[in-house]
Chains A and B, each alone.
Chain A
Amino acid sequence: MVNAVESEIRERFYYQMTLIRRFEERVFELFADGELFGTTHTYIGQEANAVAVLNHLQDDDIVVSNHRCHGHYLARTGDVEGLLAELMGKTGGVCGGRGGSQHLCNGSFYTNGVQGSTVPIAAGMAYVEKMKGTDAITVLFVGDGTFGQGTVYETFNLASLWQVPLLIVVENNRYAQTTPLDLNFAGSFVARARAFDLSVAEIESNDVEKLYHRFGHVMKNIRTRKKPHVEIIHTYRLCPHSKGDDYRPSQELEEWQAKDPLKILGQRIASEDKQETERQVCARIEQAEDKVREMPFPTLEKQASHIQVRGA
């Protein structure tokens, strides 16, 4: 038997994960319909990670994410409309259409599209909170592919040296775009972090409740000890890296589909509750779509003051 609090949390998690899943699926459809252009990196299959980590955050915590950021953004803000408008390049986009899919900012939530570059930035942000003496922690999401960048290790060194309250969540989805981990990764994640005397641990699970429990412990430690920690989640994405670039063996995909985080949590929820969640989520996305379609596209007039006009 679960108690009322656990049940409330379980429903919230299921709602958030369903929201991310259906949003991302809709993104693919909107591309197919020609309503979106540009590129995207969806979070299908990794929803449990964002939901498990970010539900532990306090208001003043900082999140720094990467190109695969929709899931983190939705789990942190719930702002479906702002994200969709940003993807569609509309005025109501969270960055006014300037950033697009992988360049989001909302309050203390930031993402950028260059691998590795966000790592020292997040460390710098964590350092500021430490200097100010706040309890805020900075959560950085990176993937396995980012571990090819030297700046990751330079920052491991800085973070350990200066003991910044930074949680580095490594979502190891086993592929850097199309290249499998064993073709580009020597040694282990844990050993790499340990070489810098960083606190580090790893977990292999698609069970959001198990992950939530684990990160409760991790984040409490960071908050009280004000020290960095690296946590590796061995996970899998059930979607292509971007849009049409999936060359993974179908047998492997099928194996992971059986471990779909939404299915794992779904087994613990009554089917009528799941149906209700689906209904609510789809209505919410549909509403957002209707609203965003009505929004105008941005113009450059507002931006003139920031453009260095030659000779002017």
Chain B
Amino acid sequence: MRYVESLNQALHQVMAADDRVFVLGEDILDPYGGAFKVTKGLSSIYPDRVLATPISEPSITGFATGMAMRGLLPILEIMFGDFITLCTDQIINSATKFSWMYNEQVKVPLVIRTPMGGRRGYGPTHSQTLETLFLSVPGLTIIAPSHFHDPGNLLRKAVLSERGPVLFVENKLLYPKRLSQPDQSGRIGDFFAEKLFGHNKDYPSISLSLVKGERADVTLVAYGGMAPLAAEAAFNVFMQHEIVVKIIVPSLVKPFPLKDVLPSAQESGRVVIAEEAVRTAGWGAEMASQICESAFDNLSKPIERVGAMEVPIPSSRPLEKTVLPQVSDIEKAIYRQVGV
């Protein structure tokens, strides 16, 4: 099954399971079914609970917040993650504040789904990874499944179990990708896979390693759209220099899944964190800081971050490739860690 199909099925399932679920967004009606087809088929089956909205991100975010406060389970699609900037006031000053600020008299079970990420030549305003802008917002949960996860299952949990607002990030390069789930022997292709529930039982991290039972030389942390690049880099450095990398792929971006990362970081003592956004004040920056606070004595090298260059993401293919982090950038960071 493909990533997009998994999400689409989950939306069908939650709408069937609970008539409090409403889906709102721009251009989500059939036959179009959304810019990335994640909402396909929903409006044909549930015409009263699928709302095609005007291009009014600030207000549809507020509208959905109001729905959530009054007992519904709205799912809001923001067509491109770049447009999340337009939703920011409602996310920061309304949806994530109300429960706490009103002394827990209300719940705001709002799920905002949005595609992030580049590598498709969409240019500066349709390619960004902006969830990192929200890392410092109390009360917000950010989930970003990779193709190693079961994205539909994570979405179902976010919609039906969460009591507060969730930003659900879908990397657009993953949409057509086939899911890579562990087989009966616990392997994903060449990797031994393990689910880590150290931080959260609903949103596990996946650990991947080419060698079982051996201490990893480097811990590589990457979520969402960076997961396939991380896997490729880990494979390459093993083939070329027999460097054993343990990859930790969180599905939970915030709160920080430190408990899933820490054991491997402590064991290997060398950590590379790869993300698609810029490094400054980013996810890797915070993760590195938290690792240092808990495991400084175990580290044999400074933690290294791989991320995008600090310029707008260009449209031209070779330029975009230069700006966004590549497999080779991760490999180089790994080599620096082990001194190759």
Contact = CB atoms under 8 A, between A and B. Distances in A.
A201 to B, nearest CB: 24
A161 B54 contact: yes
A38 to B, nearest CB: 14
B192 interface: no
B213 to A, nearest CB: 28
A96 to B, nearest CB: 4
A155 B70 contact: no
Interface in A124-147: 124-129, 131
A173 to B, nearest CB: 23
A112 interface: yes
B123 interface: no
A114 interface: yes
Nearest to B48: A131
Contacts of A103: 97, 101-102
A129 B70 contact: yes
Interface in B281-304: 290, 293-294
A105 to B, nearest CB: 4
A157 B54 contact: yes
Contact of A117 (B62, B101, B138, B139): B62
Interface string B59-77: 1111111111111100000
A120 interface: yes
Interface stretch (B87-95, B125-133, B240-248, B314-322): B87-95
A154 B255 contact: no
B109 to A, nearest CB: 13
A101 to B, nearest CB: 12
A306 interface: yes
A117 B63 contact: no
Contacts of B138: 307-308
Contacts of B70: 62, 124-125, 128-129
A80 interface: no
Given A95-B103, A151-B62, A117 B67 contact: no
B328 interface: no
Given A99-B101, A121-B66, A158 B59 contact: yes
Interface in A72-104: 93-96, 98-99, 103-104
A157 B93 CA distance: 22
Given A120-B66, A128-B72, A308-B255, A110 B102 contact: yes
A292 interface: no
B85 interface: no
B106 interface: yes
A105 B60 CA distance: 22
* Interface of chain B: mostly helix, strand, loop or mixed: helix
Contact of B294 (A119, A307, A311): A311
Given A121-B94, A128-B67, A311-B293, A155 B103 contact: no
Nearest to B24: A124
Given A117-B62, A154-B56, A128 B103 contact: no
Nearest to A120: B62
B32 interface: no
A150 B54 contact: no
A285 B64 CA distance: 38
B27 to A, nearest CB: 16
7 contacts: A98-B102, A99-B101, A103-B97, A119-B59, A120-B58, A121-B69, A155-B62
Interface of B: 48, 51, 53-54, 56, 58-72, 89-90, 93-94, 97-106, 138-139, 254-256, 258, 290, 293-294
Interface of A: 62, 93-96, 98-99, 103-106, 110, 112-114, 117-129, 131, 150-151, 154-155, 157-158, 161-162, 303, 306-308, 310-311
Given A112-B94, A119-B59, 12 more contacts: A105-B103, A105-B105, A110-B98, A120-B61, A120-B63, A120-B65, A120-B66, A121-B62, A121-B94, A158-B54, A158-B56, A162-B51
